[in-house]
Amino acid sequence: MSLPKTLAEDVARNLVMVARLLDEDPEQAYAYSRIALRLASRVAAVREAAGFAAYATQKYAEALAEFRASRRMTGSVELWPVMADCERGLGRPERAMAMAGEPEVQKLDKAGQVEMRLVAAGARRDMGQIDAAIVTLQSPELASSAVHPWTPRLRYAYADALLAAGREDEAREWFGKALEADKDGSTDASDRLAELDGVEFVDALGDDDEAAPAGAEASAETDADDDIDEDDDTDEDDGPVKA
């Protein structure tokens, strides 16, 4: 759908702000998305952006409605995994599992299929089926030594599921593999490995901050003692106090 030039520019500015703020300030991104939505609700890109902003602020029912609207406008299945994850967010993991078995999944590209696998594994865990979640994540993509943008998250999810199942040694191995692939720091695999190895990080700055008041207190006590000594000397010089 085409928009008048001025309106299109206003909508574009708001969409740029949504994209810029989505990770660092989701609430503000959501506010911009609502403005864009009021200006151009019949534009698929606007509905999609509004969906992601709502998703980032955990407004899952609203996000799902926007994603469905975008899909109706475009006919694309690209949003299928995030729509399924919205069902999880709404406490309906069984619906997410049902979506994982729909024909739309076969139309997704490799990244989309991996994302769908992650969502399905999460739904299994939501239902308390940890062993099934582990099996769901086992795939050629997981076994591959090739690194793709989704590789760290897939390996991390597998490690986390193994840990939940009490398979600590295997979990440590896969957190390590996730860390090897995670060049951008998209996961906290290094922290999880440290926890498993019993490593505790000490905040040196915090220790210094705590030490400073102690030194100041000691200095204050010394100054107070000096004041007392000076007072005592003054009383001796003046002689005895007369009744």
SS3 11: helix
Cα-flanking dihedrals φ and ψ of residue 221, to 5°?
A: -65, -40
Q: Which residue do the tokens 């692939």 mark?
A: 181
In the chain, alpha helices (H): 5-21, 26-39, 44-56, 60-74, 80-89, 93-100, 110-126, 130-137, 140-143, 151-164, 168-181, 189-196, 204-238
pLDDT in tens, 34-59: 999 999 999 999 999 999 999 999 99
User: How do residues 130-179 score in pLDDT, each as one tens digit?
Assistant: 999 999 999 999 999 999 999 999 999 999 999 999 999 999 999 999 99
| Residues in Cβ contact with 7 at an 8 Å cutoff, skipping those fewer than 6 apart | 39, 40
Cα–Cα distance for residue pair 70/49, rounded to 1 Å: 9
Q: What is the pLDDT of residues 98-133, one digit of tens each?
A: 999 999 999 999 999 999 999 999 999 999 999 999
Residue partners of 60: CB distance under 8 A and separation at least 6: 54, 86, 87, 89, 90
170-229 residue pLDDT tens: 999 999 999 999 999 999 999 999 999 888 766 655 555 554 454 444 444 445 455 545
Residue 10 pLDDT more than 70?
Answer: yes
Q: Is the pLDDT of residue 2 over 80?
A: no
Q: What is the DSSP string of 57-120?
A: TT-HHHHHHHHHHHHHHH---TTHHHHHHHHHHTT-HHHHHHHHTSGGGGGS-HHHHHHHHHHH
- Indicate if the pLDDT at residue 87 is higher than 70: yes
Neighbours of 107 (CB within 10 A): 13
Q: Which region, left, alpha or beta, applies to residue 58 given φ > 0 means left and ψ of -120 to 50 means alpha? A: left
Residue in the block written with tokens 């490799």: 110
